[in-house]
Amino acid sequence: MTILEAIKESVGYPISNNRAQITLLKRGLTGTDEATQSVLNSKAFELATADLMFWLITTPNISEGGYSISLTDRKTLKDIASGIYSKHGVTDPTKATVRFIRPW
């Protein structure tokens, strides 16, 4: 099994090969390499998985190939991704906050 195939299975929702490849490359992984135990347990692979989950929850109204992501699914994916980011001490984009400022 390749790293590309492994990450698509890890997420559990349909993701294009291109989206998965881009995410892997950003984390320094090559999708065509073999998915070994050390790769699957690596920080880079786990963070790439979290990145794909974050991408899924921020993409509006996903419905593809008979799959759709409900609000409950989005919350579950957010919680999993947040846990991975926290585990590795990485800034969690799922916890972004907005501050409104009144200029008057």
User: What gap in Å lies between CA 62 and CA 70, rounded to an integer?
Assistant: 9
pLDDT at residue number 65: 55
Under 8 Å CB-to-CB from 15, ≥6 apart: which residues? Answer: 8, 52, 56
Position with higher pLDDT, 44 vs 61: 44
pLDDT digits (tens, 9 = 90+) for 9-23: 999 888 899 999 999
User: 95, 50, 22: which is closest to 4 by C-alpha?
Assistant: 22
pLDDT at residue number 17: 93
Under 8 Å CB-to-CB from 46, ≥6 apart: which residues? Answer: 84, 87, 88
Q: 13 by DSSP, 3-state: which? A: coil
pLDDT digits (tens, 9 = 90+) for 59-92: 766 555 555 666 677 788 888 888 888 888 888 7
